[in-house]
Amino acid sequence: MEFFELAKNRYSERLFDQRPVEQEKIDKILEAGRLSPTAANLQPQHIYVIQSEEALEKARSIRVSHFNAPLMILVCYDADEAWSNPGDEYYDEYNSGEQDATIVAATMMYEAEELGVHSVWLRGFNSKNVAEAFDLPENMIPVMMFSMGYPDEESEPHPKLHFSRKPLEDTVTFL
């Protein structure tokens, strides 16, 4: 599928069936994330594949809206490995970790869509609870999760959340 069509048609899945995602597809999704651009190519991202029933229960306990997906991905970054810009006077403690992890996550979500695996971006959680639940090292910063799986046969895009887009002129300024 052409990328523009892929981006246009992808929507946040909220109704998953319980078929497991095949390991070959998971591997391709993870590889797409590995190939993503990161600041100075430092690749500070770390991906946790949440698929065992025990791990899914932990994720569900810290994230209310998980949409009962059979697979979840937790995307973090290593604060010790992220690029930083000490000369930035506006963001004096800036590092690229969250942006790098976000690029990786978005790339994986588009690859998943290409493979017929739907996803929904999740961020409504307390990072400390995530770190504690999964016993993350102190330098590993949780950025986001996404639920993944195959859509239920009754699944469809949410009319307000998928089809409503601001006009381009509301979000772009030419200088």
Q: Give pLDDT tens digits for 54-92.
A: 999 999 888 767 788 999 999 999 999 999 988 888 887
Domain 3-171 CATH assignment equals 3.30.540.10 = no
Please check whether residue 54 is in contact with residue 48, taking contact to mean a CB–CB distance below 8 angstroms.
no
Write down the domain spans for the chain.
3-171
* Residue 54: predicted pLDDT: 96
Q: Which of 156, 145, 151 is nearest to 51 (CA)?
A: 145
- Chain Cα centroid distance, residue 85: 25
Q: Looking at residues 153-159, what average pLDDT do you find?
A: 89
Structure token pair of residue 43: 């690749």
Residues across the chain: 175
pLDDT band at 51 (very low <50, low <70, confident <90, very high): very high
Long-range contacts of range 54-57, CB-CB < 8 Å, 24 or more positions apart? 55/134
Residue 133 pLDDT exceeds 80? yes
Q: Measured at the alpha carbon of residue 97, what is the angle toward residues 94 and 102, in degrees to the nearest 5? A: 125
Q: What are phi and psi of 25, to 5 degrees?
A: -70, -40
DSSP state of 103: H
What is the tens place of the pLDDT at every residue in 91-122?
A: 878 899 999 999 999 999 999 999 999 999 99
* pTM as predicted: 0.93
